[in-house]
Amino acid sequence: MTTERSSIPWSGRGWGAEPALVEARERALPRVRSVAGIGKLIGAAFALRGAVPLFCVRVLHLEPASGAAAGLAVIPALLLLLCLHSVGAASSVHGGPTRLRLRDRTATICLAAYLLFAGVSFFWSIADSPASSSVYWVALILDAATVVVLLSLYAPEAVARSLLRGYLAGALAVAALAWMMPAQADLRLGDPDYFNTNQIANICVFGIFAAQYLGRKGMHRTWIPVAALAITLLRTMSKTTLLAFVVSQGILLFRDRNIHRKTRRRILLAAAVVLMVSAGFVSAYYNVYVNTANQAETLTGRTAIWAWTVGEVPDSPWIGHGFDSMWKVMPPFGADRFQARHAENELLQQLYAYGIVGCVLFLAVYFSLFRCFRRCADPTIRPVLKVLLLFILIRGLAEAEPFDLLLPIWLLLLLESIAGDRQSITTDRSDGSPLLHGLRPAAGIPDYVSPS
């Protein structure tokens, strides 16, 4: 049943307002504020946790194992805080969860099957230390559980705003940290052992996509964080990430009808200026890249990793080698005895770890997510969601993750929820009064209370 909206701001107490209705509305307001606080904290943690091992080892001088454990403990601690925070919260008033139709939850169902299969694969995994590897699988489950708990308490758009605002702040902090770190031997940003170039670049790109989403939802001056993160991304010189980013953003820039022609010209001009200023650094890095060993011919060692992985796949084609089955299993190679953690190609990584069965589940996740994005009811964010998926697919040609998907599981669940949510209020009222985004009229409660 559709409730008639009023141009009168609904935040007042008003003449003749039913006390029970006013109470219900006022009880709803603190819950919206609370999701902003806890959501921002969790979003920032998703962005910053990759830098925790670096801080523990380089600053606190702890053992690498302690740094890794500290990084893994961040989200479980926040999940516990979230559960304590939500005790007694009633989801029957405004800001409660959206019940999505089953067809809008197919990616979640496929993802659940994928995670279950990854867990079962420990029975045949050839991992160097199955007990240690299982901790990372549990961490994936807790990542997903954190977003699921948020979505079970609050509206998808309210969760998305708070999480992505926090993630954007965390990404900017990571960018600032990257600029303060000593440059590597090849002139790029990052620490090769504890917080490498590809990690920094990936966080910057997701921060840019978060800013683009928030900008289309009413956040002002998002060009400032976008510019800062884009310059940091260029400075990392993470080649695969840069290529995927340029292609996906180029398609968004020229195909999205929501972007004005004047804005396109400004973006292109700004990009040209940044490239001109960075020409010296890019040239210096190119000389290092083509003249150091055989990096250019082997794509920084990727061809050797691909060849070894392809040779191992036939040993267990249907169910793969199990979760985390490459670390210290693949022999080290090169003068520096490099130890690969994954196959440097997402599809090849899934095929090696989980075989044909796992690949089918993996492809089903992305295909279901693409269908969900196509059905997104909000035409302003639909293009951003599509090019984000395109970015992941291009980056997956020469990158992978040892445990997670390239599109992090927590973000995948969040994006499916906001794409499938057809009830979110995303525009301001006709009189210009602000909305609390993500609120929807609950049954029996009118959308406004007349002001006093």
Q: What is the pLDDT of residue 204?
A: 97
What angle in degrees, to the nearest 10, is found between the helix axes of 19-48 and 130-153? 150
DSSP 270-283: HHHHHHHHTHHHHH
**What are the pLDDT digits (tens) for 254-308?**
998 888 889 899 999 999 999 998 888 888 888 887 776 555 445 667 888 899 9
**CA-to-CA dists, residue 230 to 89, 136, 237, 278, angstroms:** 40, 30, 11, 12
Q: What is the pLDDT of residue 85?
A: 77
Instruction: Give yes or no for residue 163 having a pLDDT over 90.
Output: yes
CA 145/CA 252 separation, integer angstroms: 32
- In this prediction, residues 337-349 reach a mean pLDDT of 89
Q: How long a stretch of residues is the chain?
A: 452
Helix (H) or strand (E) holding 76: helix 64-85
Using pLDDT thresholds of 50, 70 and 90, give the confidence band for residue 333.
confident
3-state secondary structure (DSSP) of residue 54? helix
- In this prediction, residues 47-67 reach a mean pLDDT of 92
Q: What is the pLDDT of residue 50?
A: 93
Q: What is the pLDDT of residue 15?
A: 37
- Higher per-residue pLDDT: 84 or 20: 84
Instruction: Give yes or no for residue 240 having a pLDDT over 80.
Output: yes
**What are the pLDDT digits (tens) for 69-82?**
999 999 999 999 88
**What are the pLDDT digits (tens) for 88-140?**
554 433 445 556 565 668 999 999 999 999 999 999 999 988 999 999 999 99
Q: What is the pLDDT of residue 97?
A: 58
- Higher per-residue pLDDT: 88 or 435: 88
pLDDT over 70 percentage in the chain = 79
219-228, 293-302, 375-384: which range is least confident on average? 293-302
